[in-house]
Amino acid sequence: MAPVRVGVSLKMYFGHQEAAAWFDRVAALARGHAAVASGAVELFVIPTYLQILPARDAFAGTPVRIGAQDVAAADTGPYTGEVSAAELAEVGASLAEIGHAERRRLYGETDAVTAAKAAAALRHGVTPLVCVGETERLDPAGAAAATVAQLRRSLADAPAGPVIAAYEPVWAIGAAEPAPTGHIAAVARALRVALDVAPDRAGSAVIYGGSAGPGLLTALGDAVDGLFLGRFAHDPANLETVLDEAAELATARAAA
């Protein structure tokens, strides 16, 4: 049975020493959390590029996966400031966050750019965490159609392999509350169907991000495969609350 996934992006909030202290606390939490240790819950952490190596070392001996907040579309060459998927894989990063709304808004990244980065990640065995979501609030059916179309564009011509689709409606990022559960469920189910019918995407998952917090995973149940957390998880105690929810959901799925 697939695990319930819980991810955390640190964005650029932590300095190097602050991140190292957070890694140590979360690594201790992961080692002592039965569902994480057993694999029923998969925890992944996405720090800055400079923090990937200390994160890898801090989480050594745990099943916690380490990711990067971006990846180059090219494999090698004269691309100043870029980091390749090959190098990420070499140092132990197994995920790459691609196409986040901030990258699209601040740096003009398009679905075509996202697709090129997803292809690069998959070529080197790195799982693309593809962020998708409508910019303006739509009804659930409209949001589902728009987001599925965006996901397809963001994976156009990408090699076979599993992906994680992170549904993050742009209008809900940083908001006081997440999107309504019925809205999330409708879009997430449509994304899951789109991935399930793609013969080259076996093992893929759909998670929700966008002001996600305690209680949401329980409310969503089987509609999603997990949550993608932001600043809420900067407090490890808050992260532990969500991991406990994920463990309860994993237990319920196993018993079903």
In this structure, what CATH number is given to the domain that contains residue 179?
Answer: 3.20.20.70
| Catalytic residue of the set 42, 87, 168, 245 | 168
Contacts of 16 (CB under 8 A, 6+ apart): 50, 51, 54
Q: What is the pLDDT of residue 256?
A: 81
Which range of residues forms the domain containing residue 173? Answer: 4-255
DSSP summary character for residue 180: P
Q: What is the pLDDT of residue 1?
A: 82
Amino acid, single-letter form, for residue 42 = E
The residues with which 66 forms a beta bridge, in sequence order, are 45
Asked whether residue 176 carries a pLDDT value surpassing 80, the answer given is no
Does the annotation mark 234 as catalytic? no
Question: Number of structural domains, the chain?
Answer: 1
**3-class SS at 191?**
helix
Asked whether residue 213 carries a pLDDT value surpassing 80, the answer given is yes
pLDDT band at 175 (very low <50, low <70, confident <90, very high): confident
pLDDT in tens, 23-61: 999 999 999 999 999 999 999 999 999 999 999 999 999
Q: State the number of CA atoms in the 13 A half-sphere of 115 facing the CB.
A: 13
Cα four-point dihedral sign 76, 164, 38, 49: positive
| Catalytic residue of the set 33, 97, 100, 109 | 100
How much is the pTM?
0.96
Q: What is the pLDDT of residue 160?
A: 97
Encode 23-58 in three state secondary structure. Answer: HHHHHHHHHHCHHHHHCCEEEEEECCHHHHHHHHHH
Q: What is the mean pLDDT of residues 80-89?
A: 98
What CA dihedral angle connects 242, 243, 249 and 252, to 10 degrees?
Answer: -140
Q: What is the pLDDT of residue 35?
A: 98
**3-class SS at 99?**
coil
pLDDT in tens, 88-146: 999 999 999 999 999 999 999 999 999 999 999 999 999 999 999 999 999 999 999 99
Does the annotation mark 82 as catalytic? no
